[in-house]
Structure 1
Amino acid sequence: MLDTFRRTCDQHEHPASVLTDNGMVYTVRFAGRRGGRNHLEHELHRLGIVQKNGRPNHPTTQGKVERFQQTMKKWLRAQPDQPTTVHELQALLDTFTEHYNHHRPHRSLPHRQTPATAYQATPKARPSTTAREHDSHDRLRRDKIDKTGCVTLRIAGKLRHIGIGRPHAGTHVLLLIHDHDVRIINAATGEILRELTIDLTRDLTRDYQPRGTNTQK
């Protein structure tokens, strides 16, 4: 999902906001946010793009795209040569997209414009640097340091292993998380065992957070 979003932005630039349903690939807000924001939510927050999600059990919120999909499915079923492979299906979808966006007049648009004409003539809203500056994600987690001296924490859809040290194995801890700032505290004594900031802009794939570094390298 994240790769598709980025490719779309490369082609059309970043929007000011996005609207989706509540599928887990779009948001984890109905999953209790136990794992923090997912990959897409993290990326939208990083870019300052406002995220909008439809109201549960209210499918008309995404009515326009649902209507588009209905038109597309009808067109596909009407083709005399039905696809038998993924490549053939993709070729038909490309043909439909070109016809729908650039050639087919739309009654809902002024002067029966095509979507491409209307899109190109409309000023584009862009992300705001202040739109989400107060939109932080704060969590409190209870955990126990494992026998390797680590605790785990899911950030941006990926499980991270944070090194505390083998001498602390078995210690019960509190994890205070503010976005990507993490503070790990001995639950019994209140001692701060580690503080770090996980810098996802450097490497989204990094898992282990070794001791001796405050940020992800």
Structure 2
Amino acid sequence: MELRRQLTAEGHDAGPVTIAWHLAEQGLHVPSTSMIRRTLHEAGLITPEPRKRPKSSYLRFEADQPNETWQSDFTHARLADGTDVEILTWLDDHSRYLISCTAHQPVTGDTVVNTFLTAIEQHGCPASTLTDNGRVYTARFGGGRNAFEYLLPTLGVTQKNGSPWHPQTQGKVERFQQTLKRWLAKQPQPPTLAVLQELLDRFREYYNNSRPHRSLDRTTPAKAYAATPKALPATAREQNHYRIRYDRVDQAGRITLRRASKLHHLHIGAQHRGTRILAIIDDTTVTVTALETGEILATNTIDPNRNYWRNTRKPPGRWPGGSQ
């Protein structure tokens, strides 16, 4: 009963399964969950609810390996002064491991790309992603593609989008957001975005390491995430550090890139003058795609000893202003 009151006051799940897990973690005697439920009910700490649809009647889909699929979504929150902010989540489908949870004002397409790249630097690249059809994830209903849709094929990641008006497809991340919001409601309202991020970091630590999950056979997401080998993208790459840059091809058919305080010129092609591009940079290669079409325009090998990096998708030859 003490655990029930403590967990509830802190905004955490406080059901019989969770209480049993915490008792075991403390090395105490653990009664059956039915005994815990009956004790809480007799003490008036459980409010009876109408009989729910049995869980066995639901069709559940779950990835077989960690990093097989990452679900993502964002939800709204408010600061103490009433300012509306947004919380972006990346959640591993197999283990429910909370990959990333960050606060923004607001979430944009660039936010999705940058948080995704940061997440894969820390946890490896997923084989696929699953999101709704929000504009930050896909532009397929508005024509063309957005930066996230350009990035994923380059990394070998399969993009999956739920059916419109059917949020159950992303059910795991939707349920996580409900859990997060219940916890935030028990905390002092944050005055700034930075303070909100501190709260999210604290919750992420608790959620991953100190909260048993019934669908994971009462283990924590962190243990489930580490228990089996991670899935890899269809075209796995060795590099694990990425950054992106938006630019426009200049009149000489090039873009410039600063690396280690040194400026380098990357050949794209004179026929692409004025084209807006997305450059994806890893440890050895810069891949340049057309922002409007997603076409890969150039691949440049990083060579810190040279000022000019040729487009390796084209045969060697002369370029405006010099020779190779």
Q: Determine if the TM-score, normalized by the shorter chain, exceeds 0.5.
A: yes
The TM-score normalised by the length of structure 2 is: 0.41
Partner residue, 2:194: 87
Query: 1:175-195, CA deviations, whole angstroms, 9 ceiling, x for partnerless residues?
Result: xx7933xxxxxxxxxxxxxxx
Equivalent position to 1:105, from 190, 207, 212: 212
Partner of 2:170: 62
Matched position secondary structure for 1:32: coil
Q: Partner of 2:314 in structure 1?
A: none
8 A Cα contact 2:132 2:162, kept in partner: yes
Q: CA RMSD in A?
A: 2.9
CA–CA distance in structure 1, aligned partners of residues 156 and 291 of structure 2: 24
In structure 2, the gaps of 5 or more residues are 1-111, 237-270, 279-288, 303-318
Identify which of 114, 126, 129 aligns with 2:220.
114
| 1:11 pairs with one of 110, 122, 130 | 122
* 2:3 counterpart residue number: none
The one-letter code sitting in structure 2 at the alignment partner of 1:11 is Q
Q: Distance in 1 between matches of 2:151 and 2:119?
A: 14
Runs of 4+ in structure 1 over 6 Å off: none
Matches of 1:129 and 1:70, distance apart in 2: 35
Matches of 1:12 and 1:109 in 2, distance apart?
20
* SS, match of residue 18 in structure 1: strand
Alignment correspondent of 2:298: 199
1:38–1:155 Cα contact (<8 Å) kept: no
Q: Secondary structure at the match of 1:29?
A: coil
Does 1:126 find its partner at 2:237? no
Question: Which SS does the other structure have where 2:130 is aligned?
Answer: strand
User: 2:186 and 2:128 mapped to 1: Cα distance?
Assistant: 35
3-state DSSP of counterpart to 1:128: coil
Percent sequence identity is: 54
Counterpart position of 2:113: 2
Displacement of 1:122 in angstroms is 2.3
- 1:38 alignment partner AA: N
State whether residues 147 and 291 of structure 2, in contact with CA within 8 Å, keep that contact through their aligned partners in structure 1: no
Query: Take 2:206 and 2:141, find their aligned partners in 1: how far apart are those partners?
Result: 38
Total equivalences in the alignment: 150
Q: Which residue of 2 aligns with 1:44?
A: 152
TM-score, with length taken from structure 1: 0.60
Gap runs ≥5 in structure 1: 131-148, 161-176, 181-197, 204-211
